[in-house]
Every structure is written in C-alpha cells, then in structure tokens.
Amino acid sequence: MFRAMGTRLTELPALEPDPLEPQPQSVARYVEALQGLSKANADYARRAAWSQIRLAGARAGRRPAEAHETLDRIFRLGTPPRPALDGPTRGLMVTPTVPRPLDLGLRALASAWMPWTGKRFDAAANGGANLLAPSSRWPTRLLWPSYRPEPLGRGLAAFRFRTYVSPGTVDPDIETLKIDYDSSENPTLLIRDVLDEVVQVVRGTYLGKVLLRRGAQWRLVGYFGLQPGLAVAGEQAVAAAPEAAAAAA
C-alpha cells in the first residue's frame, strides 16, 4: 500500500540501497519512501522505482534468491493502476523465476532476440493486446499456424486479453490488475494458460508477475515491468518473454 505523502527528497540518499548487493528489505524501504514523495517529485519517483526493478533483474542472474525476494517485496507494495492503464506501454522482461539451468538458457535467448515490446490497453473496453516486434511474424506463425495476429505498424498486436481488478492469485491479501488470456480467440497452446498480474509501484512504473497454470495450480514463472509510451527500438531486455518462460516451465 502506498505511503501517505511525506517523504522529502533529502531523505532518499540515506535510504538508497547498495546497487550491487542490497538486502531485499532495504530496497523495499527505499521504494516505499519513493511512494511517499509529493506529486511535484513524481518523475523522480518513477525513474528511481524503475531503476530498482531493472537492477533487481540484472542481479537475478547471479543472485536469484535475493533478486526474486526483492521483486516480490516491491510487488507487494503496489496497488492496482490508478488511473487505469490506457494506450500503449513499453515493456521490460525483468527476470524468469524458473530453475537455474533453464533461467540461464532463457537469458541467453533473450540477449539475442526479444519479440515482446509491451502491451496496449483499452481502459474503456477492459482489455488490450500484447505488442510484438516485426521479427516475431514467422515464429508466431510456426508456433500457432492457425492464429492471425493483428498487423500494427511494422509489428503485431497479438494475444488479446481482458482486464479486471481482484485479489492476487499467489498474493490473495493484495489487489492486482489481472491480465487474463483465457478466451477462445487466443491459441489453446500455452497462451490461454498464462495469467499476468500488474501493480502500480509509483505513477508511471508498473511491475507484473507472470503466472502459468498447470492443472489446477498457478506457478510464478517471471516478472515484467511496464511504463507508458511506445516501446523504444533496440532496447534490450534482460530476460525471456512470458510465453518463452511459461513454455519452458
């Protein structure tokens, strides 16, 4: 839950965690302090919170337990996005949360090719779609031969979803924005068994969990971040797309 406004910018340097070897609780305290900044400092809070998410993703390759706990603590500080997400967002695949050998393989894959660039939301319709790079056309056709994504500029809009707010699947004590792919218009293979849950960390910075359904159980397979705006061409992600992590799990 967001702190009441009351953090001063001058307090933050003393709270800023070590960028290389922080403790999860110190990162959580810092992010909570960012949530207490005034609206006049909203841009600072957005950039600083995004930096903590990116740093945790970078550490996950060598310190996975710490990074995963850090991201979970940040996630649990969030609330459903307010105002509701609307329009395009650019995405960052932060890290998978799969067994170590598979994690390393997915990171190597993502460093060479990242098809997912973000999500497009339609607040009025309580839905949206994923945004894919032009290079995703043939792999998408290969994996789902009968599925036809929507051409969008040079890229694609694919795997439409509906959105609603409800308690988290693995965090039932907090409210999250559910991104639900389980509809007949999506491929049965894999996609309909993925559920994303998103929270607003601070205005303009959003953290998501990727969940995969196996039987009656949901398993956390990765984290991703979102910021408003179109994807930046050439921006490198640090982990694999949710679909890749889910497929490998």
Residue 147 included in any domain: yes
Residue 81 included in any domain: no
* Mean pLDDT confidence for 146-165: 95
Same structural domain, 229 and 124: yes
Taking the model in full, what pTM does it have?
Answer: 0.88
Nearest in space to 226 (alpha carbons), one of 195, 193, 201: 201
- Residue 245: the pLDDT is 44
pLDDT in tens, 176-220: 999 999 999 999 999 999 999 999 999 999 999 999 998 889 999
pLDDT in tens, 59-112: 998 999 999 999 999 999 999 999 999 999 999 999 999 766 555 555 554 554
State the sign of the Cα–Cα–Cα–Cα dihedral 43, 45, 48, 50.
negative
Domain count, the chain: 2
* CA–CA separation, 160 and 85 (whole Å): 15
Token pair for residue 56? 């945790």
Same structural domain, 104 and 190: yes
Residue 82 included in any domain: no
Structural domain for 13, as ranges: 9-76
Residue 3 included in any domain: no
